Amino acid sequence: MNRSVPARSAAAAAATLLAATLLAGCAAGVGIGVPVAPGVSLGVGVGSGGNVNVGVGTRAGPVGVGVGVNQRGQVSAGAGVGASVPAGGARVGAGGGVGTVVHDPASKKSKPDEESGYFY
């Protein structure tokens, strides 16, 4: 019996992980991703703080990366790795990843410098 994780399973898990990373940052959350092109998924979900998020991600094997935005306008980016297995008509996966807020409209640093007009 071959117990290795098929590439397709790993890719699906990476997409799931990516969605979770983007949708909830480092917190817990739940979401769903829908493939929109080969290797590209659009995801939507809710994080543990009640933040509704939407994101887009791509994957290569078990590794995924992407970007998302929540209802407060915070833009986040993330990367992760994971694996999944078939469970009935769906797949169940797990993994780990990192994410960070790359733009926060409420942050003083997201506003233009009054003198130069440039963002800092």
| pLDDT at 106 > cutoff 60 | yes
| Residue 116 is assigned to a structural domain of this protein | no
What's residue 25's pLDDT?
Answer: 45
Q: In which domain, by residue range, is 93 found? A: 7-110
What's residue 89's pLDDT?
Answer: 84
| Residue 117 is assigned to a structural domain of this protein | no
pLDDT tens digits, 31-63: 788 889 988 999 888 877 788 889 999 888 889
DSSP string, 12-78: HHHHHHHHHHHHHTTS-EEEEEEEEETTEEEEEEEETTS-EEEEEEEEETTEEEEEEEETT--EEEE
Number of domains in the chain: 1
| Residue 72 is assigned to a structural domain of this protein | yes
pLDDT tens digits, 62-100: 898 999 999 999 999 989 898 888 888 887 888 888 888
